[in-house]
Amino acid sequence: MVKQRLQSAVENSTLKSVSEEFIRGFERSTLGKTWIQVLEITRASRLYRWLTTEPESTTIVIDLRKTHTFGPVLAVLDAATPQVTRFWETSRLAAVARAIENAFSGSKAVRLMAKVFEPPEPPANGDQRE
């Protein structure tokens, strides 16, 4: 009973009729026709179909270390990382970078920029936006 009354009220509401008239007017306008044409072209494109295709239900994990293409590159990076890290920590360039960091870290402009680029706090109740 309540559901029927609510549906009847919505169907007979002024807001609904105004919104329907607005939509019809927009669809008849040049801007609306152009917009619809752009949407149709976009939806028909291969890139759009490729990006919006549902992924297969199975997940495949490829270990790039075992591939012929990336395996050797990753092995070289793994071997070189400790040496490069030690070299960087003892280099003069790292000392200069630390000095610059220390000089700028106390400035108001840097603190303000850090505040601007700081990510927002997560919601208190643990809900996430979708």
Instruction: Say yes or no: 47 and 8 in one domain.
Output: yes
* 75 and 46 inside one domain: no
97-111 pLDDT tens trace: 888 888 777 778 877
Domain that holds residue 11: 2-52
pLDDT at residue 4, as a whole number: 81
Task: Kindly state whether residue 99 falls inside one of the protein's structural domains.
Answer: yes
Q: Is residue 129 in some structural domain?
A: no
Same domain assignment for residues 48 and 15: yes
Same domain, 42 and 79: no
How far is it, in rounded angstroms, from Cα 73 to Cα 43?
A: 39
59 inside domain? no
3-state secondary structure of 1: coil
Residue-wise DSSP of 19-70: HHHHHHHHHHSHHHHHHHHHHHHHHHSHHHHHHHSPPPSS-----GGGSTTT
User: Is 79 domain-assigned?
Assistant: yes
Give Cβ neighbours of residue 14 (< 8 Å, ≥ 6 apart).
Answer: none
d(CA 33, CA 45): 19
What would you report as the CA-atom Rg of the chain, rounded to the nearest whole angstrom?
A: 29
d(CA 55, CA 73): 29
Distances (CA, A) of 24 to 20, 27, 30, 108: 6, 5, 12, 54
Q: ∠117-121-124 over CA atoms, to 5°? A: 170
Which tens digit of pLDDT belongs to each residue from 58-95? 777 788 889 999 899 999 999 999 998 998 888 998 89
| Same domain (yes/no): 34, 8 | yes
pTM score, whole prediction: 0.34
What's the token pair of residue 54?
A: 């549902």
Give the model's confidence band at 128: pLDDT under 50 very low, under 70 low, under 90 confident, else very high.
Answer: low
pLDDT at 16: 77
Q: Is 126 inside any structural domain?
A: no
Q: Give pLDDT, residue 76.
A: 92
Amino acid of residue 103: A
Q: Is residue 125 assigned to a domain?
A: no
Is 44 part of a structural domain of the chain?
A: yes
Same structural domain, 71 and 111: yes
Average confidence (pLDDT) over 47-65: 82
